Amino acid sequence: MAVLRSHKITSFSSFIDELKRCGSINEAFSYISKRVSDWVSCITDEYSRLRYATFFLERCGIVDEQLPNFYDSNEILKASVQEVRFSLLARKYGSADDPLILFSDTPAP
Amino acid sequence: MTELASLLKSIVKTKTWVSPSLVLDRLGQSPHIDSLVRDIVRSHISIWDRENFCELVLMKIDKGIKELSILLDILAEHRLKILREDKLEELLKRWGHDHEIFSALLRYIGECDVKTFIPFLERKLQAISELPMFKAFTILDVLAQIGDRGCLSILERFRAHISRAKDQPATTVLSEYTELASREIGLREVMHKRTNKKGAVLVQCAFYGDIARPGQSEGGGLATLLTTLGNSMARSNELDRIYTLFLFSLETDYWNLRLIEPRGDENHYIVRIPVSFPAHDRSNQFMIHEYEIMRAVQRALEQHCIDPDIFHIRYSDNASKALAILSKRLKKKLVFTLTSDPQRNLSGKDGRLLNMAEEETLFNMNKVYIADRLVESADGIILIGHERKNDQIIPYFPTLWIIPELLRKPLDIVPEGIDMKVYLKNGESYDKFLELLTDHEGHYKLENAYMERPIILNAGRLNRVKGQHLLLDAWVQSKLSEIYNLVLVGGNLESPNSSEHMILQLIDNTMEDHPELKGRFCLLSALPNREIRLFERAIMERINAKMPNVYACSSIKEEFGISILEAMSVGFLAIAPLNGGVSSYIEDGKNGYLIETHNATAIKLGMESVLLSRGVSSRELRAIAKKGKVYVSRVFDIDKVARIFSRFYLNIIKVS
């Protein structure tokens, strides 16, 4: 087995449980971003932190109708968190029509 | 646009329901969005009402929208034969002049097996003098796909016609393609076109550059690596056949190349895949022509009777995505070499996320998205590294070690490698190679009076990212120009493309300001890999000054740097970029040096700190170069690397 897979993650299930107690995607993302380096030892830079943060965010299952308000400044951050938020919304509602209509030039059918 | 792209990616990822009309309405906004729409169609077509979907596509085609070629490709890819013949005729008449739409219409005719258009194709072939080259290839391809024995006579007449036009540049390759078309039709009728396979067959993709033109286009290093690797795997006989695929642009490519040719060993073949798009700006072209690539590769496999067991893809781009989709459709195994490009370049030197404009963000996030998808769909994953170490992937790919299904996938960490067995042939001599420095067609050459001086060498395609102009600036500004000659090898100096032209202009400007350095600077056109290797050996054999000969890689970053390894293997002292993957094999100050390369001043200071430092003697520098040589020979011998790859492939086939 390759060396890279010997990284250790500290009690994966317990911090997913902690995350689930967050009230909003905003809160969850802030919480993960602050703590993720304690959980995972291999984070090297902000994009690496973002990759792990969005990975855990997607698994915490918090669906938030509100757009998170903390990421207007950076396009990479915005694109990454939006993708997770849309995935969570899509899974909850079983359809992506509503958000896609928002991008439509014509009225909904 | 980034928000819409994020939404579309989430739809692909979660396979959530979405109405086809809403998806198709998004076409035409940007190539990124179009590519994601095609992905949604692939993932959703089995759950959509097919009739309703086809009606929607027809309505859009009737409206004559600008994204017509994408809609036609969707129909062709999913073999939805819904266009009536009169409609097809109307479209061909209306759009026959449009390169993209004409090609897409013909792909539709081929994939949907619209045999009633065979006479149309035959008529087009008869009017050869009016046919642009890309159209001739497209027509031959589709005729071979749907034609019957009745078409053989027209193909024969066509071949006789082009063989008479010997002055035409494309005669050889067009004649070869016509012969392939005839063979495909002939073999289809007798039903025994498969070759006798004795073992595993590998298809590896080198979609940047071509081995016939090293140092002249994108990805010369990859072309060299895969050709050398293919030769070595073929020699070892662990695999039955190896096919290395290159793209052959019908717009700009060299017509004297063959579409299929044995390389090194009869079990290794180079296969060139004809495509309609130009050879420059490949990442973007791959995104726009993703389906064309997928189909062109499948057609080439059919034409050459290649039945692969494994596809190996190496870049996180849309061409790799196309091959991944094809491999799944053909039920073949897929191996993906995963790198952290662009992930590790999305944060700055201070570790903070880079601020990017929307277009750049879309470009990079597309690569991130593709890498994630390929990690999921691959049957085996290769990381680049040696001694089974790679610390550049895990920081960006949590799924790879946390998700159990991915954790179970075969994974290996393999070094890149170089051929250590490059020797002079009978009649060749090092002196002849050394003469290139003083006697060649170009403008800048060394004068005999300076031939005793040591050399700073740089080889690679002439491009801004390779930084040859910065290296020249660094050299002229430094005292190094009093000690060292500078030799640059790369680019097509006779007929430069736009990026080569720009670098040549910068070189001319610098040299105009420094006429005193004439005779100490040499610029050579790109050389085939074997020749550059022998040229390097010649320098090491014949130029023995007090200071060591240096290979200076001035790239802003270098993912791996095959050319650095090649120079180290014959004893050059390597000075290479700190940025990128070179640090995985050069230990600064131990077997080479790592320097900042973001501008000329950084390169100058970096090189001076190595070569003009009072702390390190020339003897110590030679010792460091020797350590580099020994290390490269021990670790990066292509034959050792080839054995690791062959066993990895065989293991994946065995597991299946």
How would you label B241-264 residue by residue, b for 16+ Cβ within 10 Å and e otherwise? bbbbbbbbbbeebeeebebeeebb
Q: Pick one of 3.40.50.1240, 3.40.50.2000, 3.90.1150.10, 3.90.1300.10 as the CATH number of B430-636.
A: 3.40.50.2000
pLDDT at position B215 over 80:
no
pLDDT class for A56, splitting at 50, 70, 90? confident
Q: Distance between CA atoms of B484 and B456, rounded to whole angstroms? A: 6
Answer whether A79 sits within 8 Å of B22, measured CB to CB. no
Helix axes B358-377, B31-44, angle to 10 degrees: 30
pLDDT digits (tens, 9 = 90+) for B53-96: 999 999 999 886 678 999 999 999 999 999 999 999 999 998 88
How many residues in chain B?
Answer: 656
Burial label for A91, CB within 10 Å (0-12, 13-18, 19+), is middle
Answer whether A90 sits within 8 Å of B10, measured CB to CB. yes
pLDDT at position A4 over 50:
no
Sign of CA dihedral B207, B208, B214, B216: positive
Query: Bigger pLDDT: A29 or B619?
Result: B619
Residues of chain B with Cβ-Cβ distance to A5 below 8 Å are 400-401, 407, 411
As a whole number, mean pLDDT of residues B536-543 equals: 95
pLDDT at position A72 over 80:
no
Tell me if domain B2-190 and domain B430-636 are identical in fold: no
State yes or no: cis peptide before B415, omega within 30 of 0. no
Q: Distance between CA atoms of B445 and B572, rounded to whole angstroms? A: 21
Answer whether A44 sits within 8 Å of B395, measured CB to CB. yes
pLDDT digits (tens, 9 = 90+) for B2-23: 889 999 999 999 999 999 999 9
The CATH number of domain B2-190 is 1.25.10: yes
Residues of chain B with Cβ-Cβ distance to A99 below 8 Å are 7
Q: Distance between CA atoms of B126 and B218, rounded to whole angstroms? A: 37
Which residue is it, tokens 């039955």?
B240
The domain locations on chain B are 2-190, 201-347+355-417+639-655, 430-636
Answer whether A45 sits within 8 Å of B17, measured CB to CB. no
Asked if B59 reaches chain A (Cβ–Cβ under 8 Å), the answer is: no
The β-bridge partners of B456 are B486, B550
Least-confidence region, from B192-196, B354-358, B397-401, B413-417: B192-196
| Radius of gyration of chain B from its Cα atoms, rounded to whole angstroms | 26
pLDDT at position B448 over 90:
yes
* B244: enclosing H helix or E strand: strand B241-249
The DSSP line for B513-544 is: H-GGGTTSEEEE----HHHHHHHHHHHHHH--
pLDDT class for A3, splitting at 50, 70, 90? very low
Which of B13, B22, B391 comes nearest A97 by C-beta? Answer: B22
Residues of chain B with Cβ-Cβ distance to A109 below 8 Å are 19, 21
Query: What is chain A's mean pLDDT, rounded?
Result: 75
pLDDT at position B193 over 60:
no
**Architecture in CATH for domain B201-347+355-417+639-655:** 3-Layer(aba) Sandwich (3.40)
Least-confidence region, from B180-184, B209-213, B286-290, B488-492: B209-213
CB-based contact B307:B192 (threshold 8 Å): no
- Expressed in percent and rounded to 5, the helix, strand and coil fractions of chain A are 60, 5, 35
Q: Which of B208, B204, B358 is nearest to B281 (CA)?
A: B208
pLDDT digits (tens, 9 = 90+) for B625-646: 999 999 999 999 999 999 999 9
Residues of chain B with Cβ-Cβ distance to A52 below 8 Å are 398
Write phi, then psi, for B532 (nearest 5 degrees). Answer: -65, -35
Which residue is it, tokens 């040589």?
B629
Token couple for B378:
């691959």
ipTM, 2 dp: 0.85
Answer whether A75 sits within 8 Å of B358, measured CB to CB. yes
pLDDT digits (tens, 9 = 90+) for A14-49: 677 777 777 777 777 788 888 777 777 888 898 998
Asked if B33 reaches chain A (Cβ–Cβ under 8 Å), the answer is: no
pLDDT score, position B458: 97
Measure A17 CA to nearest chain B CA, in Å.
Answer: 17
